[in-house]
Amino acid sequence: MDTSIGSEYNELRAEIRSFFTANQDAAVPAGPGFGGEASEVRRRTVEWQKRLVDAGFAARTIPTRYGGAGHDPDPLARLVIEEEFSEAGISLGMENQGISMFVPTLLHYGTEDQKQELIRPTIRGEMIWCQGYSEPGSGSDLASLRTAARLDGDEYVINGQKIWTSGAREAEMMFALVRTEAEAGKHAGISYIVLSMDTPGIEIRPLMTMTGDASFNEVFFTDVRVPATNVVGRPGQGWEVGTYTLRYERNMLGRSNATESYMAGCVDILRETGLIDSPVYRDRLLKLEGRVQAMKYHQLRLLTDMLKKRDSGAGGLIVKLNNCQLNYDVCALAIDAMAERGVLKRGSKHVRDYGNWQRNYMYALGLIIGGGTAQIQKNIIGERGLGLPREPKPAAA
């Protein structure tokens, strides 16, 4: 099996390496080794994102009129870029709810005015987004959400609550699902709307997690007024638009870039501690390496399907389930190999890599639940990918 990409991309590889040389002063490392004060991390990350966008390595296929590079989609070029950045240990830029999930959705469903206003600052890291989906009692059964938006003239008035809202305190904007048509069916009465997080009536309460961060939040809406023009798609089309966004969320959470960076860092730790020569640790490492390689070549298979315009079927559905578990297992090996240093928290004198291994270990565990739990993912794979009967629902009372 020949997995080489071909010499026709050598010019692109040379361009990337020249970019590294010219921008080494600002380059942000990939993997868990980057840390420091939150404000400085964000400043450096945004600056690096802007350089990547300007060079055409990030937002590569976004039309130029919205601030992107305007290249035609080329999965092989994208793979070359990912390979070069991974080999150099350099971050390929920001992957977040705005860039990776909202922008593709807006390109597909948004109005021209919405695209002109929102895409450019989002892809450049200047406008940070959060996602208003889950509610108390409406997580896995998202269609049962109750946050209501009542049309009043040319505005919607929103009342309700969202929970597990990642990054709500830092975000400038939110894309949310709200119920605009109470009389409509369960899935039909939902709309997808965007709103500024400094709109009067929004209250944010942080939720502390086991990572030591309040990365999740509760968000409460009390008579929050949002222009009716902020609806993406048609009123009542929110379930379709929101499901489209979720496809990109699963792809973002299942990407292999972070996994390969974690794996390289884990190997470094085993070498530095001398555990690379331990039969027990070497056996664990090789098993993980086999899974990482299987994941990598599976994604090449999906790439082939994309190039040949084939449906990947169940193959495309397993990525998030597999990769989130794999990230957790790689981080777990690194934590074990660090021994007593593996239980130190950020800020401790002898902690390694700013404590990011510990954070990513716990965060990866959370992602096995977030973005659709592993159990939900297995149901999707079984029902949509393998054609198995749907899970029985309890009888109505």
Show which residues are catalytic: 249
The span from the CA of 2 to the CA of 263, in Å, is 24
The per-residue b/e assignment along 221-243, b for 16 or more CB within 10 angstroms, e otherwise, is beebebebebbbbebbbbbebbe
**234: its two tokens:** 């048609």
The span from the CA of 88 to the CA of 93, in Å, is 14
Rg, the chain, Cα only = 22
DSSP 75-90: HHHHHHHHHHHHHHTB
**378: its two tokens:** 């297995």
Answer whether 194's CB lies under 8 Å from 173's CB.
Answer: yes
The span from the CA of 246 to the CA of 3, in Å, is 30
The span from the CA of 197 to the CA of 202, in Å, is 7
Query: What DSSP character marks residue 164?
Result: S
Neighbours of 262 (CB within 10 A): 27
> In terms of C-beta distances under 8 Å and separation of at least 24 residues, what long-range contacts does 74-80 make, across chains too?
75/303, 75/306, 75/307, 76/5, 76/6, 76/9, 76/303, 76/307, 77/9, 77/12, 79/5, 79/300, 79/303, 80/5, 80/9, 80/12, 80/13, 80/16
The span from the CA of 194 to the CA of 129, in Å, is 10
Judging by DSSP bridges, how do beta strands 155-162 and 148-152 pair with one another? antiparallel
The span from the CA of 46 to the CA of 52, in Å, is 10
Residues 6+ positions from 51 with CB-CB distance below 8 Å: 23, 26
